[in-house]
Structure 1
Amino acid sequence: MTTVTRISESAGGDPLSTLAAAMGSDNFSQVLMDRLGHWVLSQHFSLMRMDQPLPSMLMAGSCYHDRNLVWRCWRDYSHFGYQNHDPILTSVQRAGLRANRFYIGRACARDIRFRPYRQGIYENTGIEEKLSGLHRIDGGATVLFNLYRHGSEGSFSDRELSAFEALCPALMKILQGHLALREARDVLGGDDREKLRARFPELTGQELNVCVLIAQGMTYAGVAATLGIKESTVKTLRNRAFARMGINFRNQIHGFLR
């Protein structure tokens, strides 16, 4: 049976500090799978943006022996328009997805009434359950974070469902922050970032981004807006980075970028 619950934007949970520290890094997906496993066991995850007429895959990961399974499922999901038959998504859309609210949905393979979808995504792969977090972002698009469970792994437990519901607001913000950091990294100028990384490998991904942006002359408020974090967080990251680099002023960064 498909179930959907709503939680407010202020709902909390563990801050997932390890995952937050990995934002923007190349191994974020693996850290996500490992960290999330403390609360909810899953072999695959996907993060989709449900634009019309076609959804887009923002990121995905797997610790399954067939690492490409989630991408093959995505290919069929998007190509055949299965989002129009997704019971979690359609249930929430019928009820009206409000901005600044998080929704949790759970569906089993048997809940899929549209046979091609049920057979292609679930029955042919052995996936039995999907647990989803939904969030409506600015502009009206819906972001959908999915965890998948194979039949051999059993159902999501009540404890896992409660944990996922508590974690969802923080988790979705971290995912959005990671994507913003990756986009920013593409804009930042890979050469400068890699020069700093080679000179100071102990710098985290967030610290690298902050250093490169302030070296470009951005204000702390501008860095915060670019990276999607608080200005106070920018200053904390700056202080940590400067301590690792043994410097006191932003203009000293340029000496490492020559």
Structure 2
Amino acid sequence: MNAWALPLADAQPAWSRALPAVVQAVGAPDFDTRVLQALDEAALGVGSWSVYQVWRDRLPQLHLSGSLGVADTTRDCFAAYRDAGLYRRDSSFDAVRPGHAAVLRMHADEAPSHDHRQAIYLRHGVLERLSVVQRGDDGAVFAVNVYRHAHQGRFGDGELAGFAQLAPVLLAGVQRHLALRQPTPDLRAALKARCAALTERELDVCERLLRGWSFDGIAADLGLSVATAKTYRARAFARLGLHFKSELFAAFLPGGDCPPQG
């Protein structure tokens, strides 16, 4: 028999410390927070991150975002990107060919337009962006972006190299996580069959409760406050004739057991 010891932490490159954490976080409701913390612990000096898609013929979609050590303005930034139509003039991903993936770096001064630079980078103190980007054959962009803020300075050469090494696993982990968290059609159909009056948001909240999500996770995923998510839960329970979460599980899950937490 042969045996090899796992590499000691101090013998590994700093960026590799994020690999186990990214893999372990896949499917967890707090995936966005755990990955951001892992990037920080891997000495990549990330202040915030976002994951979004951009298409040619419809509005872009924000999948994940968060900040560490700075005020979280990631959703405000994305709202400006979407609502002001900045995505239509965003040439920052043009270097990635359809059917390929690449790592890109952009300083605030290199933003694709004056409005883009003012509304996102300067207004929110964002200094620099690193991205691992995959472009589909139809031209759609899937981007995992990490940001440095003004007080952090620019990414150093070692951080750039580390991110480039980590990028394939980060991209795969994010895409796998998003695939796993897709709404479960059967649960949604069962809820709708029980009460056709349930609104889309009420269905969104109940479905995620049935999948074991916390209210913090539900609120972050749907872009709501925790209080608003709980309001949708209360309205849905009233329509369904339920009072407790245990009754929801009993009505819609095999055996009536609460699903395991991620």
- What TM-score do you get using the length of structure 2 for normalisation? 0.61
**1:1-258 residue pairs with structure 2 within 5 A?**
14=16, 16-37=19-40, 38-53=42-57, 54-67=59-72, 69-90=73-94, 92=95, 97-99=97-99, 101-112=100-111, 114-137=113-136, 140-183=139-182, 186-187=184-185, 189=187, 194=212, 257=257
Question: Aligned in 2, Cα 1:86/1:193: closer, same or farther, shift over 3 Å?
Answer: closer
Q: Give the length in aligned residue pairs.
A: 182
Question: Aligned in 2, Cα 1:17/1:188: closer, same or farther, shift over 3 Å?
Answer: farther
1:170-221 CA-to-partner distances (Å, cap 9, x unmatched) read: 111100111111115x447467755xxxxxxxxxxxxxxxxxxxxxxxxxxx
C-alpha displacement at 1:34, in angstroms? Answer: 0.9
Question: Aligned in 2, Cα 1:127/1:193: closer, same or farther, shift over 3 Å?
Answer: closer
Extract unaligned runs of 5+ from structure 1. Answer: 1-12, 195-253
Question: What is the Cα-based RMSD across aligned positions, in Å?
Answer: 2.8
Query: Structure 1 vs Structure 2: percent identity of aligned residues?
Result: 27
1:39 and 1:160 in contact (8 A); partners too: yes
Question: Aligned in 2, Cα 1:188/1:33: closer, same or farther, shift over 3 Å?
Answer: farther
C-alpha displacement at 1:22, in angstroms? Answer: 1.7
C-alpha displacement at 1:73, in angstroms? Answer: 0.7
1:88 and 1:106 in contact (8 A); partners too: no
Higher mean alpha-carbon deviation, 114-123 vs 136-145, is at 136-145
Question: Aligned in 2, Cα 1:83/1:39: closer, same or farther, shift over 3 Å?
Answer: farther
* Paired AA for residue 111 in structure 1: E
1:106-149 CA-to-partner distances (Å, cap 9, x unmatched) read: 11111135212111111111111111111124655220111111
C-alpha displacement at 1:83, in angstroms? Answer: 2.5
Question: Aligned in 2, Cα 1:155/1:52: closer, same or farther, shift over 3 Å?
Answer: same
1:83 and 1:89 in contact (8 A); partners too: no
- Cα distance in 2 for partners of 1:106, 1:73 equals 18
1:107 and 1:129 in contact (8 A); partners too: yes
2:37 and 2:68 in contact (8 A); partners too: no
1:55 and 1:78 in contact (8 A); partners too: yes
1:24-49 CA-to-partner distances (Å, cap 9, x unmatched) read: 11111111011112142111111111
- Cα distance in 1 for partners of 2:48, 2:177 equals 18
* Paired AA for residue 98 in structure 1: P
Question: Aligned in 2, Cα 1:181/1:73: closer, same or farther, shift over 3 Å?
Answer: same
1:51-75 CA-to-partner distances (Å, cap 9, x unmatched) read: 12322111111124422x1111100
* Paired AA for residue 163 in structure 1: G
- Cα distance in 2 for partners of 1:122, 1:163 equals 24
Question: Aligned in 2, Cα 1:27/1:192: closer, same or farther, shift over 3 Å?
Answer: closer
Q: Report SS of the residue matched to 1:135.
A: strand
Higher mean alpha-carbon deviation, 122-131 vs 109-118, is at 109-118
1:192 and 1:257 in contact (8 A); partners too: no
2:98 and 2:137 in contact (8 A); partners too: no
* Paired AA for residue 146 in structure 2: L
